[in-house]
A and B are shown apart, each in its own frame.
Chain A
């Protein structure tokens, strides 16, 4: 009897120890994030003001802003989304609906492969495809590079969200005489919407911070650009160029731009969390 009590006590201690260990590791894992945020806010907050956000870069010595990079980032992401979302949505539907088909299985595996392609390689490929033939760095080539990076994430989230839709729902729709394509569009996609939208937003926030694929494509531009065939600036490119420059005021601006980029990405993440809860389908 005494033995049993001892064993029980030991087990309770082991339980507590285990809980403590996973707690400590979780907090330890957050430390780098806090340090990053701390440094960026500390150094970046001083650089940010209205002038910084709304004016164009100026030569060293004059205080310029980063408006062209903010607008450029939005342009790049907007066009990339226009290209990636429809493609990825259809692909995701295809690999879910024809899971047993060999071609769909191949597409699915290749999607995983695409996710593993280094972003710099995607940049080089877009350089060969678009920049060389058009003989100019451009917004278009940068957007295509980002779109390619977005594809696997949206395809996978579409696939997984659709898989969570019960087969019984599809049958309910088909049994009412609904054609197959309308069943997919009107029943299955709406039921999977929250997951798909979350995937889209996360993929946007993922590529918003990409530098490598833009080095040979969007290239960067000290001016505001609205045309699709001209080089364009983006926040990560600007951060890369300014942070590696020898000028201390540009380095300061790089911190400011980092903070702006982090704020943009955080807002997207908060929106995605919100949508995940708000639009979640309960069966």
Chain B
């Protein structure tokens, strides 16, 4: 594999006594997009939430093993620091309803009490919105509430908010499942643009979407890694029977 930024080693995740992820060993390539596919309940969202230590926020959650971000174990790092380096976009767009668009983009700094010069925050807001392909649509309404935007725009605002923190990795947890086809295709375009400058990991239910946006694909089943490889290879010549059956719609 190419230059990897994230390594998962002998990793287990639990809810109370239930084992959700079993002995996961993976490497994620830097500045590439990776999709995590699998049927409901296979642990894909849990895996994603372990990468920015959001999993442990649920009561009864625990983990075993190591996740190394640029060689450093995130489970021995402060979770706040990990989450600033690993941005996350959720299933349902969740801009802060009490903030305007500008403040939403800069929210990561504001909420953390990081003081920025006006010119600097202006620059971060503009850059992030341009990257999220939203700048042209909102530049005249920066001081309006973020919740007045359409669903797709709200989701891109959330992407801009995550990008503003300049993370190493961006996690998308079924980020298009609440959006209409047009907005979905816009987000997919965006992922394809972004993946040259940031590592993206996408959890999706949509097999075609994984094919369209990702360089690598991981197929998870019952908390185990079944198959992991280049998207082009995994989709055309799956090695495992279960992968093939899932991709062809026999289950899942």
Query: Footprint of B on A, CB under 8 Å?
Result: 100, 166, 168-169, 171-179, 182-183, 186-187, 190-191, 193, 281-283
Contacts and interface: CB of A to CB of B under 8 A. Distances in A.
B87 A283 contact: no
A49 B94 CA distance: 54
A187 B108 CA distance: 11
- Among A168, A177, A182, which residue has the most Cβ atoms of chain B within 10 A? A177
Interface stretch (B77-85, B181-189, B193-201, B230-238): B77-85
B57 interface: yes
Nearest to B88: A175
Nearest to B91: A168
A156 to B, nearest CB: 22
11 contacts: A168-B92, A169-B97, A172-B96, A172-B161, A175-B54, A175-B90, A176-B108, A177-B81, A182-B112, A193-B98, A283-B97
Given A168-B90, A168-B92, A282-B147, A177 B97 contact: no
Interface string B143-174: 00001000000000010011001000000000
A170 to B, nearest CB: 9
Given A100-B59, A183-B111, A177 B83 contact: yes
Contacts of A182: 111-113
Contacts, number: 76
Contacts of A172: 90, 94-96, 158, 161
Given A182-B113, A187-B96, A177 B90 contact: no
A257 B23 CA distance: 75
B97 A191 contact: yes
Interface range for B: 20 to 34
Q: Which DSSP category, helix, strand, loop or mixed, fits chain A's interface?
A: helix
B176 interface: no
Given A168-B92, A169-B94, A174 B54 contact: yes
Contact of A178 (B92, B112, B158): B112
Given A168-B90, A175-B83, A190 B147 contact: no
A168 B98 contact: no
Nearest to B99: A190
A8 to B, nearest CB: 40
A176 B97 contact: no
B96 A177 contact: no
Interface in B82-138: 82-84, 87-88, 90, 92, 94-98, 107-108, 110-113
